Amino acid sequence: MNDQRPVVIIIFIFLVGLVLLTKLFLIQVVDDSFIKKAERNAIQRVVDHPYRGLVYDRTGKLLVYNNPIFDLMLVPKEFQVGDTTRFLEIFDITKEQLIESYTAARKYSFVKPSPLIKQISTTDFARIQDYLIDYPGLFIMTRAVRSYPLPIASHAMGYIGEINAGQLERDTAKYYVQGDYVGLSGMERFYEKELRGVKGVKYKMVNVRGVDKGPFKDGEYDTASVAGSNITSTIHLELQRYGEMLMNGKRGSVVAIEPKTGEILAMISAPFYDPNSLTGADFSKNYRALNGDESKPLFNRPIMATYPPGSIFKIVQSLIGLQDGILTPETTFACNKSLVACHNHPSPSDLFGAIRNSCNPYFHQAYRQIINREISSNTFEDTKIGLNDWREKVLKFGLGSPLGVDMTNEKGGSIPSSKLYDKVYGEGHWKYSTIYSLSIGQGEMLVTPLQMANLAAIFANKGFYFTPHLVKSIEGDPNQIPVQYRTKHSVGIDAKHFDLIQNAMAEALYGTANRAVIQDLVIAGKTGTAQNPHGEDHSVFVAFAPKNNPTIAIAVYVENAGWGGRAAASTASLMIEKYIRGEISRPALQEYVLAGNFIY
Amino acid sequence: MKENDIHIERVDWITVLVYFALVMIGWFNIYAAVYDGQAEKSIFDFSINSGKQLVWIGTAIAIIIVIMAADYRLYENLSIILYLFFVGLLIVTPFLGKEVNGQILSVGFGDFRIQPGEFAKFATALALAKFMERPTFDLSKTKYQLQAFVVLLLPVALILLQPDTGTAMVYFSMLVMFYREGLPQSYFVLGFGFIALTLMALGIENNFYLTLGIAAVIAILIFLGKRSWQKILVFSSIGIALIAYTYSLDFVVEKLPEHQRNRIMVLFNPDIDPLGVGWNVTQSKIAIGSGGFSGKGYLEGTQTKFDFVPEQHTDFIFCTLGEEFGWIGSLVVIALFVTLLYRLVIMAERQKTRFSRIYGYCAISILLFHFMINIAMTIGLFPVVGIPLPFFSYGGSSLWSFTILLFIFIKMDSSRAMQLGRIS
């Protein structure tokens, strides 16, 4: 009987081997979930964040840079305090702070670093650096935050902050992860891709306690980060700074554009905030404070505030009339105040005189001819056709929809079409007498200060514009800026019609905006007053200079500052002088603007 | 030619080669388990375990030379004395030994410590062989069965006092030897049935189904063949006892010390507590499973050397192999063990004395048990039992005791020509 038993034992031995190998085959070869589990265990993916691109002004001066901030980190396992009194003295903290931070660090991890002192200043860092060697378990971790040498151009530059849920969802390329910093407004947001660079990845191995055990496969799978592109902005730092000084304490906008290129030289939204307040650890606290501020410092007026264009729009009307052949320089209309109010000036006037004197009845009558061309015998129908044709011509001036500046949240204003009046009055129930306010830039018409500045550039260029933009070159290469900023837009008006306009604007300065006149520097300008049903009217002025070879076109809005000839014209004139001459020859005018008492 | 000469030509070289292959693979794996890419320490560095294991390997070779040089009759003559010596050592261990994690496993002084429980294995094997070689000894008779069990159970009881359940369990592997020597087959059928029932009782949540199953089997047995009141009474009693057993088991498991209960329960559900009790098995399976077909490459493993697997150089040394050499590596090592055990069965069967055959089967039993249970626990087929993988795991006591166990038999085998044919 026992003869079979050795065979049974041998079979059993082979069976054991077979069972073990089968189970091993199942977990090693068939089931590959263990490979991922092992990677999750031991391989840590460490993202190497690239250096965000810097921003320079058009003259090469630094506008935005990265400021290293230093956190003093502590590894409890290695930490030895030695002489406590000396330690507290060197690191300038209290015993309670030390105990609190150490306890928190111990609680978090015994072997992983936790912050002991956050955001040490560069000077403190230099001071404590030499002592660090005496204290094992302490080291400095460097982070970079956005920083601004001058607290200017905050709206144009924008700010960066932690990515929000919506942005993460839209990021189909899955580049971002929770906690990443992205541009949230202004240029920072528009040029996020250029500025951010490319993240690098390092794979490192960690043991069961999370202690670093060196690179995985000697760094074979690691990728280096690529620093973001440096951007040269179109902003003129000195002009921007000067403009912000002038606008300090006021509400309003200043937009200055180089007409030949569409480059924005200055873009001021008052009231402003210090861009340094929206960086680093205090971001949330400061953001809440700014957001709750009644003066709305975060509101980017040049592209988000809309106002009726007012008298300045008469120039657009003139150009359309001239192009359509409805107006000629010789066309005259009487200043018939029964149609619409006007101030006292010689009457009747030709087109030149009408622009110079900003004659309301002139444009009431001229606009009627532009709209009602007797294309239809039905006056209602005729007005409708006329309005829609006219609207098409107005839109070409960059009005009625966002220009497409390289910032987010730009508003387009509005130029009414027949649909709006059909909706309000009913189809066939409105005619010229309903819409005549449009003739003098009032009524159902809104534009942004940026669009106004662009209008000034169009007048300066005699009929074309480049979409206003904030970036001059990327990594020194002007061809890397988006193509839409290198494309010329024609407004559909022959250049010859602009001579009269330019002359009238230069002449108008002496009548309506004497303060703006500069010795030996011809400015072409037009005042406007945006009616404000809630209080004092807004002071508006657009201009370009020098008249014969314009290098700057500007629009200035000063809210609640009354007539355009005072606050806005004075500010624009000072800005023009600052930009072209580099210095101010009229300290009295500067004092006048700084004092800010424009209502009298 | 003198009788105690070393018969080099009669030594079973296949077995010796497999032994050295396993020891060397084990040594390389111990280095891999403690290897730290940043420290760059050599495998020979005595400050790490691979260096120390080299010392144990060296001394093991010395032991082999002594064993092979000694007279083959020495072991038979010393068998009872050795057995009594180690039993004595086991008795004093709890009083003189050093307590580690609530267990007192080793005695000695300074750094030189041995675990009597490890060495008592080969001593018990020798004693059983000596005791059972008598021609009159018949394992089918209850009297002799009891005698053999007493010899076996004495060290078991003492080891359980340490307490070292794992090592104590090893002694029950001698059932393989008892089977070869004629312990009735019915014992094994009943034994396996009982184990199966136990596993089912632990594994199945609702004992009600198990009760139904037992009742059904008993009913079938009663209605098969002749029916008598006596038979019905006996079978019914057995059935009721078994059902009572399944219910009491839950109660007993509940009363077990927590670490033992968890070790059992985690077998049925490894996810029961993946960061606690399940940690060992979960991490061990991740390490082995992540090795894939051909492994991550020598010293390239991450799970074992970064301490995700506990005891990675001793009881869980197989994880290092599985992770770095994959299924192919596992296949090679399992094949080596199967070859060794197969070879030992062949050798045992060619012995001329019952003494050496019984001893051979004792060695087979112990090695088979360690091999089977150790690897099974690393892949979640068996509860975690703290027993080493023979020749592989780090540690002097373990390597020495397995070496002694194996080479005494190799020595007996090489001297078989001089043994009198007293086999019965």
Q: What would the pLDDT profile of B1-23 be if each residue is shown by its tens digit?
A: 444 555 677 899 999 999 999 99
Segments of A236-294 assigned E as strands: 252-258, 263-270
State which residues form the domain around B24: 8-181+338-418
Asked if B381 lies within 8 A of A21 by C-beta distance, the reply is: no
At residue B366, does pLDDT exceed 90? Answer: yes
Element (H, E) at B366: helix B354-378
At residue A501, does pLDDT exceed 90? Answer: yes
- Mutation target among A9, A29, A45 for the B interface, most CBs of B within 10 A: A9
Highest mean pLDDT among A162-166, B27-31, B98-102: B27-31
* Beta carbons of B129 and B358 less than 8 angstroms apart: yes
Instruction: Report angle CA A56, A58, A64 to the nearest 5 degrees.
Output: 20
| A126 belongs to a structural domain | yes
Confidence at residue B347, expressed as pLDDT on a 0 to 100 scale: 95
- At position A365, the amino acid (one-letter code) is Q
CA atoms of A356 and B128, how far apart (whole Å) = 127
Looking at CA atoms only, how far is residue B307 from chain A in angstroms?
6
State which residues form the domain around A350: 310-398+413-446
The burial class, CB within 10 Å (0-12 / 13-18 / 19+), for B101 is exposed
Confidence at residue B343, expressed as pLDDT on a 0 to 100 scale: 96
Asked if B379 lies within 8 A of A27 by C-beta distance, the reply is: yes
Asked if B375 lies within 8 A of A20 by C-beta distance, the reply is: yes
Confidence at residue A50, expressed as pLDDT on a 0 to 100 scale: 87
Q: How confident is the model at residue B275 (pLDDT cuts 50, 70, 90)?
A: low
| A57 belongs to a structural domain | no
At residue B245, does pLDDT exceed 90? Answer: no
| A364 belongs to a structural domain | yes
Asked if A35 lies within 8 A of B303 by C-beta distance, the reply is: no
* Beta carbons of B418 and B24 less than 8 angstroms apart: no
Nearest CA to A176 out of A188, A164, A187, A191 is that of: A164
| A180 belongs to a structural domain | no
Asked if A209 lies within 8 A of B307 by C-beta distance, the reply is: yes
**Chain A residues within an 8 Å CB radius of B337:** 17
Element (H, E) at A464: strand A464-466
Looking at CA atoms only, how far is residue B308 from chain A in angstroms?
5
**Chain A residues within an 8 Å CB radius of B303:** 38, 41-42
Tokens 């703006």, located at residue: A516
Partner residue opposite B334 with nearest CB, options A8, A21, A213: A21
Partner residue opposite A34 with nearest CB, options B37, B290, B381: B290
pTM of the model: 0.66
- The alpha carbons of chain B give a radius of gyration, in whole angstroms, of 23
Nearest CA to B383 out of B276, B290, B270 is that of: B270
Q: Name the domain boundary from A144, A159, A188.
A: A144
| A95 belongs to a structural domain | yes
Confidence at residue A328, expressed as pLDDT on a 0 to 100 scale: 92
Size of interface A-B (CB pairs under 8 A): 123
**Does A1 touch chain B if contact means CB atoms closer than 8 Å?**
yes
Mean pLDDT of chain A: 89
Mean pLDDT of chain B: 85
Confidence at residue A1, expressed as pLDDT on a 0 to 100 scale: 45
- Report helix, strand or coil for B291: coil
Confidence at residue B423, expressed as pLDDT on a 0 to 100 scale: 46
User: How far is CA B373 from each of CA A387, B385, B390, rounded to the nearest angstrom?
Assistant: 93, 8, 11
Structure tokens, A151: 């607290």
CA atoms of B400 and B81, how far apart (whole Å) = 19
Residues B235-244, mean pLDDT to the nearest whole number: 87
Least confident interval from A50-59, A333-342, A583-592, B20-29: A333-342
Tokens 């990594």, located at residue: A475
* Beta carbons of B164 and B117 less than 8 angstroms apart: yes
Q: What's the number of domains chain B is made of?
A: 1
Asked if A35 lies within 8 A of B290 by C-beta distance, the reply is: yes
CA atoms of A464 and B330, how far apart (whole Å) = 79
Chain A 19-78, residues with CB within 8 Å of chain B CB atoms: 19-21, 23-25, 27-29, 31-35, 37-39, 41-43
- Cβ density class A177-199: b for 16+ within 10 Å, e for less: eeebbbbbbbbbbbbbebbbbeb
Least confident interval from A115-124, A247-256, B9-18: A115-124
B346 to chain A: closest CA residue: A6
CA atoms of A161 and A285, how far apart (whole Å) = 13
**pLDDT tens digit string along B190-212?**
888 888 888 787 777 677 888 88
**Chain A residues within an 8 Å CB radius of B287:** 38
Confidence at residue B7, expressed as pLDDT on a 0 to 100 scale: 67
Partner residue opposite A13 with nearest CB, options B288, B331, B341: B341
**Chain B residues within an 8 Å CB radius of A37:** 286, 289-290
**Residues facing A490 on adjacent strands:** A464
| Phi and psi, residue A97, nearest 5° | -60, -45
Least confident interval from A17-21, A67-71, A112-116, B5-9: B5-9
Chain A 155-194, residues with CB within 8 Å of chain B CB atoms: none
Nearest CA to A141 out of A152, A130, A125, A153 is that of: A125
Residues A171-200, mean pLDDT to the nearest whole number: 88
More confident residue, A534 or A566: A566
- Mutation target among B338, B369, B379, B381 for the A interface, most CBs of A within 10 A: B338
B179 to chain A: closest CA residue: A5
Nearest CA to B317 out of B119, B25, B39 is that of: B25
CA atoms of B307 and B291, how far apart (whole Å) = 16
At residue B424, does pLDDT exceed 50? Answer: no
A208 to chain B: closest CA residue: B308
**Chain A residues within an 8 Å CB radius of B178:** none
Tokens 């320079």, located at residue: A56
Confidence at residue A4, expressed as pLDDT on a 0 to 100 scale: 86
At residue B252, does pLDDT exceed 50? Answer: yes
Nearest CA to B238 out of B208, B204, B271, B193 is that of: B193
Asked if A207 lies within 8 A of B307 by C-beta distance, the reply is: yes
Asked if A35 lies within 8 A of B292 by C-beta distance, the reply is: yes
Looking at CA atoms only, how far is residue A81 from chain B in angstroms?
27
In angstroms, the first-to-last Cα distance of chain A is: 128
Cβ-Cβ contacts under 8 Å for A168 (sequence gap 6 or more): A176, A177, A178
**Chain B residues within an 8 Å CB radius of A30:** none
- Mutation target among B40, B180, B267, B327 for the A interface, most CBs of A within 10 A: B327
Q: How confident is the model at residue B267 (pLDDT cuts 50, 70, 90)?
A: low
**Does A17 touch chain B if contact means CB atoms closer than 8 Å?**
yes
Asked if B342 lies within 8 A of A21 by C-beta distance, the reply is: no
More confident residue, B107 or B361: B361
A217 to chain B: closest CA residue: B300
- Report helix, strand or coil for A179: coil
**pLDDT tens digit string along B54-92?**
999 999 999 999 999 988 888 889 999 999 999 999 998
Neighbours of B230 (CB within 10 A): 8
Q: What's the number of domains chain A is made of?
A: 2
Tokens 């000034």, located at residue: A456
**Chain B residues within an 8 Å CB radius of A44:** none
**pLDDT tens digit string along A328-383?**
999 999 888 888 888 888 878 899 999 988 899 999 999 999 999 888 889 999 99
CA atoms of A266 and A579, how far apart (whole Å) = 10
Q: How confident is the model at residue A140 (pLDDT cuts 50, 70, 90)?
A: confident
**pLDDT tens digit string along A90-105?**
888 888 888 888 888 8
Partner residue opposite B285 with nearest CB, options A13, A21, A27: A27
Asked if A10 lies within 8 A of B337 by C-beta distance, the reply is: no
**Chain A residues within an 8 Å CB radius of B176:** 9, 12
| A119 belongs to a structural domain | yes
| A353 belongs to a structural domain | yes
CA atoms of B326 and A32, how far apart (whole Å) = 12
Please tell me what DSSP assigns to residue B135: T
Residues B222-237, mean pLDDT to the nearest whole number: 82
**Chain B residues within an 8 Å CB radius of A206:** 306
Nearest CA to A434 out of A389, A354, A367 is that of: A367
Residues B107-121, mean pLDDT to the nearest whole number: 78
